[in-house]
Structure 1
Amino acid sequence: MTPEEILPGELLERFRERARGYDERNEFCHEDLAELKEQGYLRLFAPKSDGGLGLGLEAAAAAQRRLATAAPATALAVNMHLVWTGVAHLLMERGDDSLHWVLQEAVAGEVFAFGISEAGNDSVLFDSNTVAAPQGDGSYAYTGTKIFTSLSPAWTRLGIFGKDSTGLDPELVFGFITRETPGYTIKDDWNTLGMRASQSCTTVLEGAVSPADRVFRKLPVGPNADPLIFAIFACFETLLAAVYTGVGERALEIAVAQVHRRTSKKTGKSYAQDPDIRWRVADAALAMDGLYPQLAAVARDVDQQVDHGRLWFPKMVGLKIRATETARDVVDKAIRVSGGGTYFAGNELGRLYRDVLAGIFHPSDDESAHNTVANAWLGPVEP
């Protein structure tokens, strides 16, 4: 299926119309999520044999890019569901069925969220501030605080991890809890500059237990080559890049329409004839033209299991940085050519300007990405 078939134009227009109200009211995108469910969007990665659409990462990224042109915060929210289902898909493609049930439950209507990020944890997936306490029966009780938990009002399954330090060597333990699991609290604290409809609230775990059959991975602390880590990075960074690519794409589209609409009093011509304006728009278009093929190529290589060896993680974090920074620059250029109306509340470009700033904070950040790339090309820093 093409992105246009998955997300028809009339559906996108409804999303775009609602996006302004969600932002103004700081409200979760309930109607959008309901329509996406109806379209089968939450089962993009599930195999057709399970009732899914049977798509890969390249197709999912293209769909997310399209969705973000209408409703970036909705796209960012559903990204987290697609990360988990994408991880399950990639593992299955590589012969690991340990998360097949995630795809089956997504087809059944369950909504998955990503409870991984922690304040001050710049090790991200390689260490955790959350305590994972073994319960003696294979289950684990988690105690800690997770930030940026998108889909907070709607998730039914939350993927989490924490550190078990009870053995000789500490382990990072990955598991899932359900909405009905006792021992967690969702704070009503998502009052942000942008991406407001994602409602990525803080989740406090206070002994929430993941049962033994939902504890799916135990890994050593520190970097490792487990396929789960690759799958999470591949889905998270690629789908995130897709969202911000869509933001930049929409900003450029608005800028083109605006400069044709605006007229110079001095010349009587549209601003589309002004050489300085033309240069800015062309500069934005050139930047976006370099981003589209990079997004598609990285996603395609993941699907085709191309072996990039030590360069895989640099490629993924490089894509994320390129997408978020390019989109931020393109939105800025679009505002500069579109006039002072963009400064008023409710203007779409003004909202995109606030939304695109969130890209700075998603892992991998600029510093971490440069460190990853430097290590791949130059080797680690000598002690």
Structure 2
Amino acid sequence: MSVNLPAGAVGDVAAESVVDDVLLARIRSRAAVHDRENTFPHDDLHELREAGYLRMFAPLDRGGLGFGLERVAREQTRLATAAPATALALNMHLVWTGTAKVLLDRGDDSLAWVLDDAVAGEVFAFGNSEAGNDLVLFGSRTVATPQPDGGYHFTGTKIFTSLSPVWTRLGVFGRDDTDPEAPLLVHAFLERQPGVETLSDWDTLAMRASQSNTTILTEAVAPASRVFRRLPAGPSADPLIFGIFANFEVLVAAVYTGLSQRALELAVEAAHRRTSLKANGRPYAHDPDIRWRIASAGIQHDGIPPQIAALARAVDALENRGAAWFPALVGLKVRATESARVVVDHALRVSGGSAIASSSELGRLYRDVIAGLFHPSDDESAHSTVANALLGPVPE
């Protein structure tokens, strides 16, 4: 049973999706196994690569599918209805290819090679997150040491490196303090090498199949050809920052909206399946309290897909919103992830005690949705961004 969404909504792409119903069913059938065994979904990646998933953002004339952010967000929402952790892991590849497209669309071909590599089958991962770094893209604890040939060595610890078992290109950044008065944030891509160590430390409550292990960098070498930005430390208006931020926030929102959609579907199924002795065997779908709860979940869910579509479409249309982009993007991420938590909670209450069984799909969604709390921008950072936009910054 599926939930009816408004025409053009994010989840309504079955007829035209890269992931057809048969493939989606296979991916769904494997999700519980990967969650239980804490393993990476290699079969999902293989089949999605064959379907063209890794090259969605690449233009047609470069061998890609020519999709914009709006279409890719729809695809990610659909995939997340089957396997949220698979979708979340692939988000990291799509953030880099989406950023390359944002730049290319705006006349900057500095990451065009990323799109070509994606078409060739390379897998890009996101190695920017660091424990205790609440500056996110505006500061780094990783040391970037310049080399005579224009390359850099990177030394530091990156956390939440999704796609750890399979990536072939790792985007990282670090701080170059060669000039203490003008420190730089250096962005580059690494390949697998002795200076890059992946720990086997991903044993978590949520999104287990993403295998977002810790990565230790020890003088990891990025050649000059793969160093693509050297920006002043602190906030930056460089289009790279916008590209990363826009793709990350929209695609995270899309994944959790797919999770929310699936939870709502499972709640509807449970309401029709469960019967009440008190009501002479009638299904709970006729019970007014259950109907209210499912309606509440539906109301919570159905406003998010159009917001994702509208914001993604604005990115594709090259809208120039300046600083107004950032409160809009963080607001979308927070609304989507918080809405998904509410929907899953309603769905769990409707489904009854069986939902807490270890084999329950809804129980897995209840765990997975918690991870939405921790993706940038978190609740505190997002509120600070929006407060600054509405009220101005607090004077120092």
Distance in 1, matches of 2:322 and 2:391, equals 15
Which residue does the alignment assign to 2:34?
22
Which residue does the alignment assign to 1:172?
185
Q: Does 1:297 align with 2:273?
A: no
- Report the AA paired with residue 95 of structure 1: G
CA deviations 1:242-300 (Å, max 9, x no partner) are 00000000000010011010001100211011111111100010011111111111101
Contact preservation (8 Å) 2:164, 2:211: yes
Q: Does 1:71 align with 2:112?
A: no
Q: Does 1:319 align with 2:367?
A: no
Distance in 1, matches of 2:292 and 2:342, equals 14
Distance in 2, matches of 1:303 and 1:276, equals 42
Which residue does the alignment assign to 1:342?
355
Which residue does the alignment assign to 1:140?
152
- 1:272 pairs, out of 279, 282, 285, with 285
Q: How many residue pairs get matched?
A: 382
- After TM superposition, the structure 1 = structure 2 runs for residues 196-235 of structure 1, keeping only pairs within 5 Å, are 196-235=208-247
Which residue does the alignment assign to 2:96?
84
Which residue does the alignment assign to 1:58?
70
Which residue does the alignment assign to 1:108?
120
- Report the AA paired with residue 257 of structure 2: T
- Report the AA paired with residue 189 of structure 1: D
Contact preservation (8 Å) 2:17, 2:75: no
Distance in 1, matches of 2:79 and 2:182, equals 44
Greater CA drift, 304-313 or 191-200: 304-313
Segments of 4+ moved more than 6 angstroms? none
CA shift for structure 1 position 16: 0.5
CA shift for structure 1 position 235: 0.4
% identical equivalent positions: 65
TM-score (norm 2): 0.95
Distance in 2, matches of 1:227 and 1:322, equals 25
CA shift for structure 1 position 5: 2.9
Q: Does 1:249 align with 2:291?
A: no
- After TM superposition, the structure 1 = structure 2 runs for residues 347-358 of structure 1, keeping only pairs within 5 Å, are 347-358=360-371
Structure 1: runs of 5 or more not aligned: none
CA shift for structure 1 position 51: 0.7
- 2:341 pairs, out of 318, 321, 328, with 328
- Report the AA paired with residue 221 of structure 1: A
Distance in 1, matches of 2:56 and 2:64, equals 6
TM-score (norm 1): 0.99
Which residue does the alignment assign to 2:165?
153
Distance in 2, matches of 1:174 and 1:5, equals 33
Partner-residue secondary structure (3-state), 1:33 = helix
CA shift for structure 1 position 307: 2.3
Contact preservation (8 Å) 2:337, 2:372: yes
Question: What is the alpha-carbon root mean square deviation over aligned residues?
Answer: 1.0
Q: Does 1:359 align with 2:376?
A: no
CA deviations 1:146-187 (Å, max 9, x no partner) are 0000000000000000000012410000000112x2301100
Partner-residue secondary structure (3-state), 2:174 = strand
- Report the AA paired with residue 8 of structure 1: D
Partner-residue secondary structure (3-state), 2:242 = helix
